[in-house]
């Protein structure tokens, strides 16, 4: 089997053990010299920036808690995808792995290329720009705490979690005017 036969499989791991399973799998593949049967081993996650009370906190959020994506060389000559016994045994005997998702216990099935592409694109987008998590919502009343509109009150019209900004409608000279402002420059009115 060669690199062009690599397909993505979903391996179920114990909750909160995804990273250690991925690390163990990589280590065991190298130890047993089975690199020719494996490609990438990923724990799909994104960086989340939480802005609360003016403080910026970064954390990681897994796309699929309890799962690890593993690229495994697959033989499709018989019509049904089949992985080598060595690869199957290596994955199944890894500590904190509970099994494969899809197919049967002894003959797992890979996810489709479309599913894999969707996950990989989401991973790529999250690497390019972190996701902002905000405590603010559309229609909420806020007070601006920084910048040229300091102490103005307004209503949130839009929350942009990709940029960490809010579009706020504030009254300027008696007219409602939309203003784009960072989520760390406002506070919620109680």
Q: Report pLDDT for 135.
A: 77
Phi, psi of 185 (to 5 degrees): -110, 15
3-class SS at 4?
helix
Whether the Cβ atoms of residue 165 and residue 182 lie closer than 8 Å to each other: yes
CA distance 161 to 50: 10
Domains of the chain by range and CATH?
A: 3-132 (3.30.70.940), 135-188 (2.30.30.30)
Q: Report pLDDT for 71.
A: 96
CA distance 80 to 94: 25
pLDDT, mean over the chain: 86
Whether the Cβ atoms of residue 63 and residue 122 lie closer than 8 Å to each other: yes
Proportion of the chain above pLDDT 70, given as a percent: 90
Lowest mean pLDDT among 3-17, 24-38, 117-131: 117-131
For the chain, what is the total number of helices (H) and then of strands (E)? Answer: 3, 13
Tell me the H-state helices in the chain.
Answer: 18-31, 85-92, 113-128
Tell whether the model's pLDDT for residue 37 goes beyond 70: yes
Q: Report pLDDT for 2.
A: 44
Tell whether the model's pLDDT for residue 3 goes beyond 70: no
Q: What is the pLDDT of residues 129-175, one digit of tens each?
A: 666 666 788 899 999 888 888 889 999 999 887 777 889 999 888 88
Band (pLDDT 50/70/90 cuts) for residue 99 is very high
Q: What is the pLDDT of residues 50-70, one digit of tens each?
A: 766 656 777 788 888 999 999
Tell me the H-state helices in 38-168.
Answer: 85-92, 113-128
How many C-beta atoms lie closer than 10 Å to residue 127's C-beta?
A: 10
CA distance 69 to 60: 17
């Amino acid at each position: 089997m060669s690199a062009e036969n690599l397909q993505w499989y979903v391996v179920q791991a114990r909750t909160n053990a995804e990273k250690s399973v991925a690390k163990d799998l990589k280590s065991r593949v190298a130890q047993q010299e089975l690199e020719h049967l494996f490609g990438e081993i990923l724990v799909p996650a994104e960086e989340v920036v939480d802005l609360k009370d003016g403080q910026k906190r970064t954390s990681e959020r897994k796309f699929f808690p309890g799962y690890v994506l593993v690229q495994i060389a697959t033989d499709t000559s018989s019509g049904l995808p089949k992985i080598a016994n060595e690869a199957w045994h290596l994955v199944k005997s890894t500590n904190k792995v509970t099994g494969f998702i899809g197919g049967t216990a002894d003959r797992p099935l890979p996810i489709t290329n479309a599913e894999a592409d969707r996950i990989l694109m989401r991973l790529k987008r999250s690497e390019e720009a972190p996701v902002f998590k905000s405590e603010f919502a559309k229609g909420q009343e806020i007070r601006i705490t920084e910048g040229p509109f300091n102490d103005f009150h307004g209503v949130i019209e839009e929350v942009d979690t990709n940029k960490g900004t809010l579009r706020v409608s504030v009254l300027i000279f008696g007219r409602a005017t939309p203003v784009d402002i960072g989520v760390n420059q406002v506070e919620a009115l109680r």
